Amino acid sequence: MIDDITAQLRAGRQVLEALERELADRIASFAKLLADSLAGGRKLLVMGNGGSAADAQHFAAEIVGRFKLERRGLPAVALTTDTSILTAIGNDYGFDAIFRRQVEALADEGDVVVGISTSGNSRNVQEALLLARERGCRTVGLLGRTGGSIRDIVELDLTVPSADTPRIQEGHIAIIHIVCDLVEKRLFP
């Protein structure tokens, strides 16, 4: 067991080192884009499946509540939380529509719409980002592996260089925390 634990922790460390080497500029771009949009009165919409649904909720909670600074709440909605909405859309239009329909209902031009997908191929996230782009939203993908089909849809992709889903998710949550920190510092210096 200890060998397994050591190997997994080492793999996690290697992913974080790769983020530092390869994605620092994109993390900064994401933070600027989000801070500027929130400063302009826009909001964050964020979505994902499974572990990434939890990450979406975590992200929205840091923005609406607070990360580290005492400051006013900022607008963010995780599209993963309302079981009545999710079951109604899923039941009536299909699972692939659960996020797209909420983007249709909630997204305004200039809002930041973030899709989190370790494969980059989840159809429900992909469809929502396509509509968000059509709507004139700023679209961001927190992705993994090759970035999948979502990589070609979004304005900015942050593709964690790993093929292992949990390691990719660890990269995503590291990115989310760094972005929350940078956004707070930029908006509330």
Ligand X SMILES: O=C(CO)[C@@H](O)[C@H](O)[C@H](O)[C@H](O)COP(=O)(O)O
Contacts of 51 (CB under 8 A, 6+ apart): 118, 165, 166, 169
- C-beta of residue 38 within 8 angstroms of C-beta of residue 179: no
Q: Does 119 bind ligand X (CB under 6 A)?
A: yes
CB of 50 to ligand X, least distance (A): 2
**Residue whose CB is less far from Zn ion, 51 or 75:** 51
Does the annotation place 50 within a ligand binding site?
A: yes
Task: Tell me the C-alpha to C-alpha distance, in Å, between residue 172 and each of 3, 33, 44, 168.
Answer: 25, 17, 16, 6
List the single partner that 52 binds among Zn ion, ligand X, none, CB under 5 to 8 Å by kind. Answer: ligand X
Q: Does 51 bind ligand X (CB under 6 A)?
A: yes
**Could you identify the residue written with the tokens 């370790």?**
118
Task: Tell me the C-alpha to C-alpha distance, in Å, between residue 75 and each of 25, 66, 88, 121, 170.
Answer: 25, 11, 24, 27, 25
**Residue whose CB is less far from ligand X, 29 or 165:** 165
Does the annotation place 119 within a ligand binding site?
A: yes
List the single partner that 75 binds among Zn ion, ligand X, none, CB under 5 to 8 Å by kind. Answer: none
**Residue whose CB is less far from ligand X, 14 or 146:** 146
Q: Does 122 bind ligand X (CB under 6 A)?
A: yes
Does the annotation place 169 within a ligand binding site?
A: yes
Displacement of CA 186 from its chain's centroid (Å): 19
**Interface with ligand X (CB under 6 A), residue from 8, 16, 36, 50:** 50
Task: Tell me the C-alpha to C-alpha distance, in Å, between residue 135 and each of 87, 103, 131, 139, 150.
Answer: 24, 9, 6, 10, 17
Q: Which of 112, 108, 141 is nearest to 38 (CA)?
A: 112
Task: Supply φ then ψ for residue 158, to 5 degrees.
Answer: -120, 95
Using CB under 6 A as the binding criterion, the count of chain residues that bind ligand X stands at 11
CB of 169 to ligand X, least distance (A): 6
Q: Does 165 bind ligand X (CB under 6 A)?
A: yes
Binding site membership for Zn(2+): which residues? Answer: 58, 62, 169, 177
Binding site residues, ligand X, CB under 6 A: 49-52, 117-119, 122, 165-166, 169
